[in-house]
Amino acid sequence: MAAYIELDNVSLRYPGGDVLALDATDMAIGEGDFVAIVGPSGCGKSTILKLVSGLIHATTGNVSVGQREVRGPSKGVGMAFQNPTMLPWLTIRENVMLPLKIVEPFRHEYAAKKKTEFAERAEALLKKVGLAGFGDKRPWQLSGGMLQRASLCRALIHEPRLLLLDEPFGALDQFTREELWSIMQSLWMDGKPTVILVTHDLREACYLGTRIYMMSARPGRILEIRDVDFARPRTLQMTFAPEFTALVQHLRMQIADSRGTVVEAA
Amino acid sequence: MKMSPKARQRFLSVMSVVALFLIWELVCRAFGISDLVLPKPGQVIKVLIERLPALMPHATQTLFTTTVGFALGVLAGIVIGVVIGSSKLAYDVAYPLLVGFSSIPKVAVVPIFVVWFGAGTVPAILTSMVISVFPVVVNVATGLATTEPELEDVLRALGATKRDILWNVGLPRTMPYLFASLKIAITLAFVGTVLSETVAANRGIGNVMMIASGNFDVALVFAGLFILAILGVALYAIFSFIELKVTGWAQRKTEFAMV
Ligand SMILES: Nc1ncnc2c1ncn2[C@@H]1O[C@H](COP(=O)(O)OP(=O)(O)OP(=O)(O)O)[C@@H](O)[C@H]1O
Ligand SMILES: [Mg+2]
């Protein structure tokens, strides 16, 4: 069985870095999976996303996506970060449509369809994340949470097969964050892209993930893989169920343990 | 009387110019300063109006030379700035060179241009070009170099080429920097033109001022200065206006402040 995304014994040392950022990591992610990666700060979570999207190359080992070895920057992978990075000279709708200017086959038809089909598509997506009617606004007229919603739309507008999210909800308040979990879940259930979500929030990982990869402190290694099989769509109520809190608790202890070993080793 | 803050600001700008002239006139009268040292503004304006038909061709010449030199300088500045700003290597290699180049007093290059191209319009154009290049290069390169790395990652993961990123993010982001530099460059371009006209030309305001000062016609020298100031302010205002239209998004703070 060949997985959609495979990391085979991958290590990474940044140029000039003295310690490995990532050490002998194996991952196998099936198509359409929603994978969450959790782990202490600096353990190489963002590094994994960069490796998968081909922005950096593994020092040793192999990374492949769709049975093809990743050699250079990928094409058409959706990404969103903690910082929404909207372009201030464009409207929210134009910002959301940015990937269509770049990714084929949309790029081709951009001039012809930007006012019609593509604009409608952006509006529809904005509506799903609760930003109906904000398409003509400029980024500075929106709050941080609203910008983050727009950033999700930008990552999804071209219907990517692969979506890489690096702490996209990290800077938001609890209420907005929980609301966006549910929006994110339904966006994923709509199109079933493969998602890798990096997060610090264990409840977030358990709510959204079908599988959780837990990493050790630097140099990063996979400590544990947990399948999460709560029924979908998951609700906020479910996060208070005993099974759910037990899982969160378990992960929390694991992270504390891995930190403990680091402290002892030092 | 109630005025909008904007009208008030305009009114005060005009008033400050009027006040300057008034004080100047009063000081000249009060201390009986000779016209050979510092002519009264009234007199300068009188000379300016009387000699306007004769001065106009020179003003046009200076304006033409400056605009051409400025345009060439900006074009070269954008190209060099884009190259330097989009490659770390080019940035590191070319920057010391540029700093050295910009430290050369531009007076020194005029004789060289005259030797190469003869006296006249060409050295004036080249001097104003050379003098206006540097601020443009620095600002464009800075604007490009400050693109957020995360946004670049988003675009590269989509398969964007360097050119896509430059076109969609780099250049628009650079616009406010570019316009800031244009406003500096246009005033510098005048300096370059007049410099060259004073040294090696038979036309242009710089040349008129040179001859006038030889004839102790100080009022005419000042009339030349007035013309330069007016041209400078006019071009500055034109660029400020275009800037407001093109990069309004970067000026939202003032918009808020006006409300
Ligand atoms: N560009 C870089 N050059 C050198 N070292 C880097 C670079 N980027 C990251 N590192 C190092 O690699 C390690 C892993 O970094 P990474 O950004 O993947 O961590 P992370 O798990 O995403 O952390 P966080 O949760 O804080 O975002 C860190 O120790 C960091 O110091
Ligand atoms: Mg990170």
Give, as one character, the DSSP assignment of residue B120: S
pLDDT band of B33, cuts 50, 70, 90: confident
Q: Is the pLDDT of residue B104 over 90?
A: no
B49-65 pLDDT, tens digit per residue, is: 998 898 999 999 999 99
Same domain, A50 and A174: yes
Which of B148, B159, B169 comes nearest A74 by C-beta?
B159
Same domain membership, residue A106 and residue A48: no
Mean pLDDT of B76-97: 87
Residue A95 C-alpha to ligand 1 middle, in angstroms?
Answer: 28
What is the CA angle B106-B110-B115, rounded to 5?
150
In this prediction, residue A260 carries a pLDDT of: 60
Ligand number with the minimum distance to the CA of A59? 1
Q: Is residue A195 part of a domain?
A: no
State in Å: Cα B233 to ligand 2 middle. Answer: 50
**Which one of B148, B155, B158, B163 makes the best mutation probe of the A interface by having the most chain A beta carbons within 10 Å?**
B158
Domain of A63, CATH number, reads 3.40.50.300
- Tell if the CB–CB gap between B249 and A89 is shorter than 8 Å: yes
CB contact under 8 A, A102 and B172: no
For residues A154 and A256, membership in a common domain is answered with no
Point out the ligand 1 atom lying closest to the alpha carbon of residue A48: 18
Q: How far is CA A79 from the centre of its chain?
A: 7
Quote the pTM value.
0.80
Phi, psi (degrees; rounded to nearest 5) at A48: -60, -45
Report whether B40 contacts B28 (CB < 8 A).
Answer: yes
Whether residue A171 is found in the same domain as residue A265: yes
pLDDT, position B118: 87
pLDDT band for B255, please (50, 70, 90 cuts): very low
Per-residue pLDDT averaged across B4-22, rounded?
A: 89
Tens-place pLDDT, residues B205-224: 999 999 998 998 899 999 99
Does residue A207 share a domain with residue A146?
no
Atom of ligand 1 nearest to the CA of A220: 14
In chain A, how many domains are there? Answer: 2
Instruction: List alpha helices for B38-170, DSSP H.
Output: 41-50, 52-86, 88-103, 109-117, 121-145, 149-157, 162-165
Cβ neighbours, 10 Å, residue B134: 22
Residues of chain A with pLDDT under 70: 1, 259-266
Dihedral angle, C-alpha B193, B198, B203, B206, nearest 10 °: 70
All structural domains of chain B with their residue ranges = 55-250
User: What residues of B are in contact with residue A91 (Cβ under 8 Å)?
Assistant: none
Q: Identify the closest residue of chain B to A102 by CA–CA distance.
A: B160
Could you read off the pLDDT of B132-151 as tens digits, one per residue?
999 999 889 888 887 888 89
Structural domain includes residue A189: no
Cβ-nearest to B169 among A53, A73, A87 = A87
A40 reaches B (C-beta below 8 A): no
How far, in Å, CA of A98 to CA of A222, rounded?
A: 35
Pairs from A228-232 (Cβ < 8 Å, separation ≥ 24): A230/A206, A232/A185, A232/A189
Q: Does A98 touch chain B (CB under 8 A)?
A: yes
With an 8 Å Cβ cutoff, the interface of chain B facing chain A consists of 148, 150-151, 153-160, 164, 168-169, 172-173, 175, 247, 249-250, 252
Looking at beta carbons, which residues of chain B come within 8 Å of A73? 156-157, 159
* Chosen from B88, B154, B256 to mutate, greatest number of chain A CBs within 10 A: B154
- pLDDT score for A261: 54
Same domain, yes or no: A73 and A5: yes
On whether residue A194 sits in a domain, the answer given is no
Same domain, residue pair A54 and A167 = yes
Which DSSP state fits B170?
I
Mean pLDDT, chain A, rounded, equals: 89
| CATH number 1.10.3720.10 given to B55-250 | yes
Q: Same domain for A226 and A252? A: yes
Partner B contacted by A78 (CB < 8 A): yes
**Stretch B114-140: mean pLDDT:** 90
Could you list which residues have their CB under 5 Å from ion ligand 2? A 46
pLDDT tens-digit readout, A81-106: 999 999 999 999 999 999 999 988 88
Instruction: Say which ligand is closest to the CA of A44.
Output: 1
Record: contact A83-B156, CB cut-off 8 A: no
User: Would you state the pLDDT for residue A266?
Assistant: 39
Asked if B148 lies within 8 A of A76 by C-beta distance, the reply is no
Mutate to test the interface with B, among A98, A162, A163 (most CBs of B within 10 A): A98
Across the range B190-217, mean pLDDT stands at 89
**Closest ligand to residue A45's CA:** 1
B256 pLDDT above the threshold of 70:
no
For residue A104, what are the domain limits? Answer: 83-159
Which one, of A177, A148, A248, A164, lies nearest residue A206 by Cα?
A: A248
- A103 and A47 in one domain? no
Average pLDDT, chain B: 87
- Nearest CB among A77, A138, A140 relative to B157 is that of A77
